[in-house]
Structure 1
């Protein structure tokens, strides 16, 4: 019996105690790299949690939407201001269009201001070719000044024996209304106070006579606006 107790005691003394468990604190203490990694993970978790709290805050969300809306409005206003400051006024565009017209063809009237028409003619006789520039000012219903300038192919004044101008409104059956032109100088005729009764699409008739037998009539349409 004594031997068995002694043998059992010796066996207990040499029995292995099993593997020792390593705590996180011990692993952290043993590995500085592991400690730094854990610190980064904790910081990322804390940052994500803070963002979720901010997004869940109704006041913050409303403020964010308000700031974005104001920024969008500011961009739109800036774009509109830029367009307006770089766009020419309507009258400037009309003046440029009138200045850019070329000789040798009829012109469309401007919607505001003076109406200009250019007509080329050829009576068929000697010195029968030329150009008539007719200006109607202000080019609206009521009293107008009609100015006619006749030039030869070289651009010099053409002093013809006779030139007449009249207006007819075909749709309403008005006219022809003859313009009482008077000679101002060589190749220049003018009438003041000529009355156009209404707006509409008027037919301008120009007759030029360069000799006793050489004569031609040209017709152009003119828009008269209120």
Structure 2
């Protein structure tokens, strides 16, 4: 609960749903990895130390594997649903996520989870299959020999020696199977511990948008010390403004001005007027802009209301190149549609 309350999901607004999803995701992962560790270091050693014969141990293992396997299947279903949904809530831009340090840690986590799934599949499909052959065939050998448990052990030993000479062997020694299963589950448990370490790193890394916003701010400070210099292209450019007018519903006009229209800090001014040139009453305006070439963004900025129908804000283009800008304005008039304009810019 504590990690969910102080995690990335708690920074969202509202935070209740992300926190609940994060808690469910963490709980499912903990049950999965904890179950593997318990199986590897408690259950398997206890079966191995028991005084029963090899056939009984193999029979017990044939019951343990399928019953435990149902737990990861259910848990993985929960993880597969909650994980991507939580990631979408935290950062819907997949390209930005993959380019960030957060994305790299996430990829490492997914690789380790895939290794755990692979080892579990090997236990279920290979070890369990071979173990069942021995469990099912050994009683047949006992009946054919007319004896009891001693006949089974003799049959197992006989078939084991035949296997060493190259013959096929379906009579598996119980201790050998338990030992093999113990090694694979311990390997799976160690991978699970590494997965928990990856999760710890992931929790302590900032979200992709915050990571790139920090880089943009650093670049902005550098460019403020070098006015008129286009750092991305390493050439000086004469500062000049950008102005455009878009016509929207009812022939209303949205006029956008950007100065100086260079990488770094820029002053944005958005004016909303009707067909007669009168200002439209707008309650709020928000800018969302993305560097499409590098996949940085979207960066969201709220504009400040300067007067009726006029909004201004100071925001930064962190890199030169193509930018996609969307401006959404909410009208004060009841039941009026939001005014959304989109611009493809090259800074």
> What TM-score does the superposition give when structure 2 sets the normalisation length?
0.29
Structure with the largest fraction of strand: 1
Q: TM-score, normalised by structure 1?
A: 0.44
Structure possessing the higher radius of gyration over alpha carbons? 1
Q: Greater helix percent: which structure? A: 2
